[in-house]
Amino acid sequence: MKSASKKYIEKICSEIESLPADALPEKIAETARRLTGMHYQPILLLDVPDFLNITKPVLLKFVHDIARARDNLTEPELSLLIYQFRTLQALRRDEPEAWDEVYELMEDD
């Protein structure tokens, strides 16, 4: 896997910052409860604590912290992380397409 350069990490952080504002805390908690009740676990290559409740500032801090702590952080790890966070944001906004994707994944299990 290709190691993430400092420039790539900065690009990912910029993408996170440009995402829509976080949902209200109640909506974040409600979506996390709903996904947990479905036994949904997003596919991630990094161990992100409490991912279903994560917010943009916490995600940015996580990326900065892990980039400082690991020399071998990879582009795929970060790409998948931001993809899953975008999906999580869509679920929090109750976008039907995002929920359809989750339901399809859960049916395949």
- Give residue 75's region: left, alpha or beta (phi > 0; psi -120 to 50): alpha
What is the model's pTM? Answer: 0.94
The two three-digit tokens of residue 38, written as one number:
């479905």
Residue with tokens 């020399």: 71
pLDDT in tens, 82-93: 999 999 999 999
39, 76 Cβ separation under 8 angstroms: no
CB-neighbour burial class of residue 46 (10 A; exposed 0-12, middle 13-18, buried 19+): middle
pLDDT in tens, 7-53: 999 999 999 999 999 999 999 999 999 999 999 999 999 999 999 99
